[in-house]
Structure 1
């Protein structure tokens, strides 16, 4: 279980990093790079979410998941990464509009 929790943390962190790189690329008006980085971010989120889903299904099937600080940290990292990516996507749209003017 610890390996899966670390996967969630790692993929969530990578997703955030790619999203922030995309924001920097948007500032430079490199929108092709933005799209590539946001795709990578989403791929990392998908990996983290798939691992999270496996843990949830395991618990539903009767395997008891020990709730500890590490599990809470993993959930926090994933939810934060999702929220920040969504916000960055909106910011990128603003950069595109500004760039078009």
Structure 2
């Protein structure tokens, strides 16, 4: 189980890194590249979420998990990454709209 917990933390962290890099790229004006980077972030979130789902299914099937600070940390990291990813996606869309408005002026 410990390896799965570390996978959640690792993939969640990678997702956050890709999301923030995408925002930086979007602010520089390259929306297409930013959206590609967000796809990478989503892939990492999917990997983390799949691992989380495996742990949940294991518990549902009668193999309870020992609650640990590490597991709580993994859950916190994943939920934070998901929330930030959603927010950054909206911010990238806003950057795109701002850039389009600037071009019209």
Q: TM-score range by the shorter chain?
A: over 0.9
- Aligned partner of 1:41 in structure 2 is 41
Whole-angstrom CA distance in 2 between matches of 1:24 and 1:61: 43
Give the TM-score normalised by the residue count of structure 2. Answer: 0.95
Residue 28 of structure 2 is aligned to residue 25 of structure 1: no
Q: How many aligned positions are there?
A: 101
Whole-angstrom CA distance in 1 between matches of 2:92 and 2:64: 41
- TM alignment of 1:63-82, pairs within 5 A: 63-82=63-82
Describe the SS at the equivalent of 2:94: helix
Q: Which runs of 4+ in 1 moved over 3 A?
A: none
Give the TM-score normalised by the residue count of structure 1. Answer: 0.98
Provide structure 1 residue ranges, at least 5 long, that are not aligned to the other structure.
Answer: none
State which structure, 1 or 2, has the greater radius of gyration over its C-alpha atoms: 2
RMSD between aligned alpha carbons? 0.5
